Structure formats: C-alpha cells, structure tokens
Amino acid sequence: MRIGHLIPTTDMPLVVDVHTEPTTRQVLEVGTGYPIVVVRDKNLRGARFNCYEFKHPINDRLTDESWQLAP
C-alpha cells in the first residue's frame, strides 16, 4: 500500500488539539501555515512552514477546513 493514497496531493495548513483544559474550557491548538518554498541552489530545495500555537474555546474546536479559511 502506498501512503500517497492517504493524504491530499497538495500541501495545506493543518491544525490539531494538543491539550484540553476542562477547568478553563479551552483547548491548546497547534497549526501550520501554507508551505513556503526555499531554494538554495539548483540542487537544494525544500519547504518552510509557519507554526502557530494558541488557546481556543473548547466548544468551538477548529477543523482543518475552518483553519484554512481563517483570516
């Protein structure tokens, strides 16, 4: 089985809940931005992602789709 069938063909921002605080009704979310292509020379190429960490209300947990639409 090839892993390529399990993931989308394009890179996109993702968000995950990494911790839940029931007393404050908040979740700690970690999200990535769109990839930024980095080229050093014609033989070296890669990508850089911005990373975001923030608290969000527990009753409004983010999905990947809502995170991608966020301003």
Helix/strand/coil (H/E/C) assignment for every residue in the chain: CCHHHCCCCCCCCCEEEEEEECCCCEEEEEEECCCEEEEEECCEEEEECCEEEEEEEHHHCCCHHHHHHCC
pLDDT digits (tens, 9 = 90+) for 5-50: 666 667 788 899 999 999 999 999 999 988 888 998 888 888 888 9
Task: Evaluate if pTM is beyond 0.85.
Answer: no
Query: What residues make up the domain containing 23?
Result: 3-69
Domain count for the chain, please give it.
1
d(CA 69, CA 71): 6
